[in-house]
Chains A and B, each alone.
Chain A
Amino acid sequence: MAGSMMSVLLYIFLGPLVGGLIAGIDRKISARMQGRYGPPLLQPFYDVLKLLSKESIAVNGIQNFFIFCFLIFIIFTGSLFFMGGDILLVIFALTLSSIFIVLGAFSANSAYSSIGAMRELLQMMAYEPMVLLTAIGFYVVTKSFNITDIMSFETPLVLYLPGIFLGFTYILTMKLRKSPFDISMSHHAHQEVVKGITTEFSGSTLAMIEIAHWYENVFLMGFIFLFFVWKMPGSWIIGIIACILLYFFEIVIDNASARYKWQLAFSSSWIAAAALGFTNLLILFLMK
C-alpha cells in the first residue's frame, strides 16, 4: 500500500516534469529532422509558465471548469494506473477525461473548436476499441485486470500479444496527437482548423491543457511499459528502453507523414484493431 501511494505521489509530482522534458526532446528532435536548430530543451516549461502569466479569455464561463476537470481526471487516470489498480477503471477514467475536453471545446461555441471537438469524438471512437482490446488481451494472458498482477507475469506480455502491441502503437499516434492523426489539434504550424479543439482556450486554461497532455503522455508510456515488463527484477530497464524507442518512432512518423482525413483515420484504426488486435486474441483463444 505504501509503495503504491509512493508511486502515485511520484507520478503527481514528477509526471509533468518528465512529460515536459519528453515534449522538449520531441521538439528538439523534430527540429533536427527538419534541418533546424530547434528550441531549448526546457521550451515547453517556458511556454506553460508564460501562459500562466497571461490573461485567460472565456467565451462561456463553464469552459475553463471543463478543462480543469480534464486535468484532474487525467491525473486521476494516471494515478490509478501507477497505483497498480484495475486497468478497466483506468480506461474508463481516461475516456471520461477526454469527454471533458470535448465538452469544453463545444461549450466555447466557436466553429473551429466545435470542429475540433467533433474530430476528437471521432478519434475517441477510432481508438477506443483498440484500447479495450488491449485490456482484454492483458486479461486473457494474465487472468487479471489488475496492473500489479499484469506487471508480475512470468514472461514479457509482448511475446503473447505482438498484434495487440502493434495495434496499440497504431492508435497511440492518435493519443499523442501526432501526424497523421493530429486531426483535432496539431502542435505543428498547419492551421487547417486554426488550433482545433484548443482554439478557444488561452492563458492559464491553455496551460492546464498542456500540463494534462504531459501527464497523459507519461501515462501512455506506462501502457507501453506494461508490454515489456515481467517478473524479472531488472526488466523495467527493458520497458523504459522500449518506451524511448517507441516514442522516437512516433516522432519519425510525425515528421514523415501528412495529416489523414478523418475517414481514413477512423477506418484504418478500426481495421488495425480488427486485423492486429482481434486476430491476436483469436489466436490466443485457439492456442489455449
Chain B
Amino acid sequence: MSFLKKSPWIIHYDGTSCNGCDIEVLACLTPLYDVERFGVVNTGNPKHADILLITGSVNEQNKDVVWQIFNQMPNPKVVVAVGICATSGGIFAECYNVMGGVDKIIPVDVYVPGCAARPESIIDGVVKAVEILEEKRAAMTKKRKMAKVRRVSGPVSLSNMF
C-alpha cells in the first residue's frame, strides 16, 4: 500500500512571501515541469491535501492561519518549507513583525532553501516529503489500527453558516 507515493496532493500557503517562491511553486504545474506526471495535484483544500507547502515566514497575523491549515489536514501529513524565508525567516528574520521560519509554529519535515527556490529544488523537496509521508503512514498503521474518522467539533449555528 504505497499509493501515497503515487498521489501526493498539495496545498500551498503563502505566508509573508515576496511572491517569488509562490510563482516558482506554480511554475511546477506548468507544461515545463508538470508535476502532475507524478500524480501531484494542487488542491487548495487542507482536507484533501497530504503535503503543506509554505512559502514565506510566519508573523503574528498569519500564525493562526498556518496552525489552522495544518490541523485541518488529515493524517498522515508532511510540511515542506519552501524558500529561505519559510525555513528561517531569511533576510527578514530580524524584522519586528516576523516570527521566523515556519517551524516556529508547526513541525516542518523538509526544508527547501533558495531565494527564490527553484522549481527543480521544490520538486526535489516534494519527492523527499513523499518518502517521509510514506514512513509516517507505515508508523501510523503499525502503532494502531488507525481511527479512520476524526471528529472535530466546531461552532454549529446557522448564523456562522453564511
Contacts and interface: CB of A to CB of B under 8 A. Distances in A.
A195 interface: yes
B156 interface: yes
B48 A50 contact: no
B75 A55 contact: yes
A57 interface: yes
A204 interface: yes
In this complex, which of A46, A56, A57, A201 has the most chain B Cβ atoms within 10 angstroms of its Cβ?
A57
Contacts, number: 111
Which of A38, A39, A111, A114 has the most chain B CB atoms inside 10 A of its CB? A39
B37 A38 contact: yes
A46 B39 contact: yes
A144 interface: no
Given A54-B76, A58-B150, A49 B1 contact: yes
Contact of A59 (B3, B39, B74, B152): B152
Contacts of B151: 58-59, 61
A219 B9 CA distance: 28
Given A34-B31, A39-B36, A39-B39, A49 B3 contact: yes
Contacts of B47: 57, 199-202
A207 to B, nearest CB: 11
Contacts of B39: 39-40, 43, 46-47
B16 interface: no
Contact of A55 (B9, B41, B74): B74
Interface range, B side: 35 or more
A200 B29 CA distance: 25
Contacts of A43: 6-7, 39
Contacts of A50: 3-4, 6-7, 50
A28 to B, nearest CB: 10
Interface size class of A (residues with CB under 8 A): 35 or more
A60 interface: yes
Contacts of B154: 59, 109
Given A53-B137, A191-B44, A46 B7 contact: yes
Contacts of A57: 47, 72, 74, 149-150, 152
Contacts of B91: none
A198 B44 CA distance: 12
A288 interface: no
A191 B45 CA distance: 8
A35 B30 CA distance: 9
Given A36-B31, A53-B137, A195 B150 contact: no
B96 interface: no
Nearest to B141: A53
Nearest to B154: A59
A222 interface: no
B90 to A, nearest CB: 27
B31 A109 contact: no
Contacts of B9: 47
B135 to A, nearest CB: 14
B95 interface: no
Contact of A109 (B29, B30, B41, B161): B161
B74 A54 contact: yes
A46 to B, nearest CB: 4
B121 interface: no
A31 B38 CA distance: 13
A194 interface: yes
B148 interface: yes
In the A-B complex, list the 3 residue pairs whose CB atoms are closest, starting with the nearest: A191-B44, A55-B74, A46-B6
Interface of A: 27, 31, 34-40, 43, 46-47, 49-50, 53-61, 64, 109, 111, 114, 189, 191, 194-195, 198-204, 206
17 contacts: A36-B37, A38-B37, A40-B6, A46-B39, A47-B7, A54-B4, A54-B50, A55-B76, A56-B74, A56-B149, A57-B74, A57-B152, A111-B161, A114-B162, A189-B29, A194-B44, A202-B47
Given A56-B150, A189-B41, A189-B42, 6 more contacts: A39-B37, A55-B148, A57-B149, A57-B150, A59-B151, A201-B47
